[in-house]
Amino acid sequence: MVNPVRKSLVAVAALGVAVTLAGCGGGSGGSGATATTVAATTTTEAPSAIGTAVKAGDLSLTVNSVAPFTSPSELDRLPENGQYLAVKVTVENHGSKSEIISSILSFDLRDTEGERYTLAFLVGSPPLPDGDVAAGAKLAGTLVYDVPKGRSYELVFSYSLTGSVSVKLGEH
């Protein structure tokens, strides 16, 4: 059973993101840039490595691979920042209750300069790691970001309102 408080918080946060995105849309004069500067957050554990499961409360996160991504769809736009980067992840629930994972709310990609990158929603993208993860179950998916080439990146996974872990992805 999903924790009703957490489900409500996720719903409110998703609504806030939707309202924010709706307010940012429109105008033809914008550049469409996807990077913003954010302050560093405190993580509960030291950054982990690719291929290593890192404990995140009752969950664990494994970054399985990181590689440049080319969409197979002709409908997708070219990357504005230089390249698409695909981050394949698996989240496992070791707890006794179901947990909700949202690719928009749970994951954050940053570079060493503090720039934050948003997900690239492409027609040809692999499935995102979104949904309900039952106790003892796993959820896998791929996060695709539009990023500059030649920078070092870190994926931050927020598993609660106050807890997060990070995985250093290296230079891409």
66-93 residue pLDDT tens: 999 999 998 999 999 999 999 999 999 9
Tell me the average pLDDT across 39-52.
59
Which residue bears the tokens 């290593």? 52
Residue 46 φ/ψ, nearest 5 degrees: -65, 150
Please tell me the predicted confidence (pLDDT) of residue 49: 80
Separation of alpha carbons 35 and 146, rounded Å? 9
pTM greater than the 0.85 cutoff: no
Separation of alpha carbons 157 and 106, rounded Å? 5
Asked if residue 105 has pLDDT above 60, the reply is: yes
Please tell me the predicted confidence (pLDDT) of residue 20: 38
**Whether 29 contacts 64, CB under 8 Å:** no
**Which residue did the predictor score with more confidence, 46 or 33?**
46
Asked if residue 28 has pLDDT above 80, the reply is: no
Asked if residue 152 has pLDDT above 70, the reply is: yes
Q: Which residues contact 93 (CB under 8 A, 6 or more apart)?
A: 58, 59, 99, 133, 134, 135, 136, 137, 138, 139
**Whether 108 contacts 116, CB under 8 Å:** yes
Please tell me the predicted confidence (pLDDT) of residue 70: 94
- CATH architecture type of domain 37-171: Sandwich (2.60)
Q: Which residues contact 155 (CB under 8 A, 6 or more apart)?
A: 63, 87, 89, 107, 108, 109, 143, 166, 167, 169
- Per-residue confidence band for 138, with pLDDT thresholds at 50, 70 and 90: very high
- Per-residue confidence band for 157, with pLDDT thresholds at 50, 70 and 90: very high
Percent of the chain with pLDDT over 70: 72
Which residue bears the tokens 């934050």? 116
Per domain, the residue ranges of the chain are 37-171
- Per-residue confidence band for 24, with pLDDT thresholds at 50, 70 and 90: very low
- Per-residue confidence band for 47, with pLDDT thresholds at 50, 70 and 90: low
Tell me the average pLDDT across 17-46.
40
**Which residue did the predictor score with more confidence, 162 or 19?**
162
Report the chain's mean pLDDT, rounded to a whole number. Answer: 80
